[in-house]
Amino acid sequence: MEEKIGYFTRIKIKKRFRKIAKDPNTVMLKYPNHIVSDRPIQSKWYFNCNGVVLLNHNVAGLSHYDLDRKLPEDYLPELIKKISDCSDLEGLIAVLIGGSIKHHQRNKKILEEYKIPIVAEYLDGLNEGESSKDYETKDSKDLVVIPNPQEVLMYSKPFGYLRLYPKEKCLFPNAGWIQNKLKFLF
């Protein structure tokens, strides 16, 4: 269940997402690939693709694959190796973004084997038996990853702009109804 956050917090997340996405120092990760950087990273159009964000000290890693292009058993150890070349693995955390449930579960298993804690997850993916051509009915996700301070922002059509990590603290637990009322005023 999505944690409800206030309307004005969403506006701040949207502004931060757009500012980082437009910054010339932000690295664009194109599908299918993975990268480690000490600069912000952006990747777009995660339909049925899955992403793994790794955050450690002042570096971040990000992947963007589907199971047809590269298996997580191949790319995730490569990504972990790349981040270990830049920084030690102590304190390494992960955020998972998914468009495929099977892929998501495989990513979780690998991270558990490496003993990397998963601090946040987002999954809106394909269920068993769904065809990959059904992905067009799923909403795309765009990600922005900031290594320092550690932050993972996402845009998803059904939910808008979200901060996946660190998780939002809602000052007003029933603020969701306020958001629904205010969106018509702007």
The mean pLDDT values, 10 residues at a time, for the chain of 186 residues are: 64 96 98 97 93 95 96 98 92 94 96 97 70 56 96 90 80 38 34
Tell me, what's the pLDDT at 128? 53
Compute how many other C-beta atoms are within 10 angstroms of the C-beta atom of residue 173: 8
Burial class (CB in 10 A: 0-12, 13-18, 19+), 122: buried
Tell me, what's the pLDDT at 6? 74
**Domain 26-168 classified CATH 3.30.1330.200?**
yes
Taking a C-beta distance cutoff of 8 angstroms, is the pair 32, 14 a contact? no
Tell me, what's the pLDDT at 143? 97
Q: For 66, what's the count of Cα atoms within 13 Å in the CB-facing half-sphere?
A: 14
From start to end of 26-87, where are the E strands?
Answer: 27-28, 33-37, 41-43, 51-56, 59-64
